[in-house]
């Protein structure tokens, strides 16, 4: 069997060259394609934010990647088993020689992306208990000030202010202006709820209204964001959600303490009509007055019936006598209290005098003066004692100088020592030629005896 050999008409590719050629062909041919399939092996990368998964049908599968820049625009959360429609382009990863679909846009099949994202978030928050009725806070009966998070220029703030001014002209309003549509809207709405809660005590806020006018699902979407739902759920102030028209529901409606169909309805909910309060207070005043009149009349009739009865007279006499005794006891008690108070005042006066005599600051001043006197006496005594000792020391020094050999030497005398260091007291103790040392008042001399003269001794004549 013959085998064809490579030649000029049959080029030979390296693996890299072949992969690069396939890459150029596929990427130029499939640069914008729509692919439908089912997601499997969905793996979001936490650090990079990229999504890696597989698109498959019953017969085949294809690797897919969606980078963070595109994934952040997807409203719903992809999951295994979800049928989707993907738009992107084919890329070839040369180190592995495999191709993958790089997705730029992802939509669920059968449902819109926003509707699916709405249902996913609603299910998640419901499981966490954020919609539970027991979490709902009641609205205040008559709030002092209302906080509003909405657009500064939208119809919602105009409608709310009109209703509030009509029903409660002196009610104060604090507006946190926020975008209610667009990419930054969710962040600003959540921030508004948080800021007004933080300033609630300072601004005397009692309730919040968060909302906007109607619109499409895309327009209302910021009120379906998880950040807004979390901010409303964490609010210490009661929150009324007022988003869109009556048929529109958002995640904010489910999380809020009260849901109003429109911003105008929210204003009507937060305050009742002032004249209703006036009318109710008037009705209660009339009922109270009628009740007092009726009960007073009944009591007066009973008193009149009992006033002529002997038993009533006896009771009244005992009551009057008891009242007199009470008055007398009160007078005695008052006199006793006055005596005790007078005695107490006198005792306090005596104690004050004693305390004045024993005041610590006066005793300290006296002690300081005494210490000063003793210090002066001690210094004087010590100085006299030192002077006396100095005088005695001077006299002793003079006597010592008078007796000192050095003083004698100072007057021209000298001391002579022999070679053994003994003091020469007699000329006979040394001989001619002996070395001697002569000590003067200042310095010494080394000398040698030239001649010794011994005085002649004479025997006593009998």
**pLDDT averaged per 10 residues, the chain (length 462):** 59 84 84 87 89 88 90 84 86 85 86 75 90 92 89 90 86 92 92 95 94 83 92 95 78 93 89 70 86 84 66 64 74 80 81 69 78 84 83 78 67 82 84 86 86 68 39
Looking at the fold, whether 313 and 352 belong to one and the same domain comes out as no
Looking at the fold, whether 47 and 64 belong to one and the same domain comes out as yes
Question: Is 253 a member of any domain?
Answer: yes
270-284 b/e (C-beta count within 10 Å ≥ 16 → b): bbeeeeeeeeeeeee
108 in helix, strand or coil? Answer: strand
Looking at the fold, whether 234 and 208 belong to one and the same domain comes out as yes
Q: Is 345 exposed, middle or buried (CB count within 10 Å of its CB: 0-12, 13-18, 19+)? A: exposed
Question: Is 49 a member of any domain?
Answer: yes
pTM, two decimal places = 0.48
Provide the pLDDT for residue 274.
58
Provide the pLDDT for residue 422.
86
In angstroms, rounded to a whole number, what is the distance separating the alpha carbons of residues 28 and 23? 8
Looking at the fold, whether 290 and 244 belong to one and the same domain comes out as no
Looking at the fold, whether 194 and 286 belong to one and the same domain comes out as no
Give the CATH number of the domain where residue 213 resides.
3.40.50.960
Q: Which of 255, 271, 287 is the last residue of a domain?
A: 271
Provide the pLDDT for residue 404.
66
Tokens standing for residue 59? 């017969």
Question: Is 132 a member of any domain?
Answer: no
Q: Name the E strands within 71-135.
A: 83-93, 98-108
Looking at the fold, whether 148 and 264 belong to one and the same domain comes out as yes
Domains identified in the chain, total number: 5
Among 356, 191, 175, 203, which residue's Cα sits nearest to residue 263? 175
Question: Is 164 a member of any domain?
Answer: yes
Task: State which H helix or E strand residue 49 sits in.
Answer: none
Question: Is 427 a member of any domain?
Answer: yes
Provide the pLDDT for residue 174.
94
Asked if residues 147 and 207 have their Cβ atoms less than 8 Å apart, the reply is yes
Q: How far apart are the first and last CA of the chain?
A: 183
Q: What is the CA radius of gyration of the chain?
A: 60
In angstroms, rounded to a whole number, what is the distance separating the alpha carbons of residues 168 and 410? 124
Among 190, 186, 158, which residue's Cα sits nearest to residue 173? 158
Residue ranges of alpha helices (H) inside 263-359 are 263-270, 274-307, 310-357
Question: Is 2 a member of any domain?
Answer: no
Looking at the fold, whether 158 and 75 belong to one and the same domain comes out as no
Looking at the fold, whether 201 and 281 belong to one and the same domain comes out as no
| Residues in CB range of 246: below 8 A, 6 or more apart | 261, 262
Give the CATH number of the domain where residue 46 resides.
2.40.50.140
Provide the pLDDT for residue 127.
92
Provide the pLDDT for residue 195.
96
Question: Is 397 a member of any domain?
Answer: no
Looking at the fold, whether 214 and 283 belong to one and the same domain comes out as no
| Residues in CB range of 190: below 8 A, 6 or more apart | 225, 227, 228, 230, 231
In angstroms, rounded to a whole number, what is the distance separating the alpha carbons of residues 212 and 248? 12
Segments forming the whole domain that contains residue 25: 15-110
Looking at the fold, whether 162 and 265 belong to one and the same domain comes out as yes
Indicate the angle between helix axes 113-128 and 226-233, nearest 10 degrees.
30
Asked if residues 120 and 77 have their Cβ atoms less than 8 Å apart, the reply is yes
Per 3-state DSSP, the chain is made up of helix, strand and coil in percentages (nearest 5) of 50, 20, 30
Looking at the fold, whether 264 and 155 belong to one and the same domain comes out as yes
Asked if residues 229 and 125 have their Cβ atoms less than 8 Å apart, the reply is yes
Looking at the fold, whether 24 and 68 belong to one and the same domain comes out as yes
Provide the pLDDT for residue 461.
42
Question: Is 325 a member of any domain?
Answer: no
44-77 b/e (C-beta count within 10 Å ≥ 16 → b): eeeeeebbebbbeeeeeebbbbbeeebbeebbbe
């Amino acid at each position: 069997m013959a085998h064809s050999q490579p030649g000029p008409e049959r080029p030979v590719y390296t693996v890299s060259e072949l992969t690069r050629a396939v890459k150029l062909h596929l990427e130029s041919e499939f640069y914008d394609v729509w692919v439908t399939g089912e997601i499997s092996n969905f793996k979001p990368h936490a650090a990079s934010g990229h999504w890696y998964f597989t698109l498959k049908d019953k017969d085949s599968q294809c690797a897919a990647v969606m980078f963070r820049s595109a994934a952040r625009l997807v409203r719903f959360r992809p999951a295994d088993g979800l049928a989707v429609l993907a738009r992107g382009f084919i890329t070839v990863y040369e180190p592995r020689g495999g191709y993958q679909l790089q997705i730029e846009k992802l939509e669920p099949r059968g449902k819109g992306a926003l509707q699916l994202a709405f249902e996913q978030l609603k299910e998640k928050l419901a499981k966490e208990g954020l919609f539970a009725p027991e979490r709902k806070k009641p609205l205040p009966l008559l709030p002092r000030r209302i906080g509003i998070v909405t657009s500064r220029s939208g119809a919602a703030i105009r409608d709310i202010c009109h209703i509030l001014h009509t029903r409660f002209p002196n009610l104060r309003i604090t507006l946190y202006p926020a975008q209610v549509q667009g990419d930054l809207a969710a962040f600003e709405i959540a921030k508004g709820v948080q800021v007004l809660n933080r300033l609630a005590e300072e601004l005397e806020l009692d309730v919040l209204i968060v909302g906007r006018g109607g619109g499409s699902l895309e327009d209302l979407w910021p009120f379906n964001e998880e950040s807004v739902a979390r901010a409303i759920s964490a609010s210490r102030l009661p929150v009324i959600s007022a988003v869109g028209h009556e048929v529109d529901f958002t995640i904010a409606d489910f999380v809020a303490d009260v849901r109003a169909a429109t911003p105008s309805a929210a204003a009507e909910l937060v305050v009742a009509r002032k004249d209703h309060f006036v009318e109710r207070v008037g009705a209660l005043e009339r009922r109270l007055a009628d009740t007092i009149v009726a009960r007073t009349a009944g009591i007066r009739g009973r008193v009149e019936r009992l006033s002529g009865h002997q038993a009533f007279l006896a009771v009244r006499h005992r009551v009057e006598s008891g009242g007199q005794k009470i008055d007398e006891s009160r007078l005695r008690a008052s006199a006793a209290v006055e005596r005790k108070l007078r005695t107490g005042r006198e005792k306090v006066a005596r104690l004050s005098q004693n305390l004045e005599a024993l005041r610590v600051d006066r005793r300290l001043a006296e002690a300081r003066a005494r210490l000063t006197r003793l210090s002066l006496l001690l210094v004087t005594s010590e100085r006299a004692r030192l002077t006396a000792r100095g005088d005695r020391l001077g006299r002793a020094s003079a006597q010592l100088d008078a007796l000192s050999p050095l003083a004698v030497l100072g007057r021209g005398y000298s001391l002579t020592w022999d070679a053994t260091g003994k003091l020469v007291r007699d000329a006979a103790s040394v001989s001619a030629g002996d070395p001697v040392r002569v000590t003067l008042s200042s310095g010494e001399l080394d000398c040698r005896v030239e001649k010794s003269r011994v005085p002649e001794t004479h025997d006593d004549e009998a």
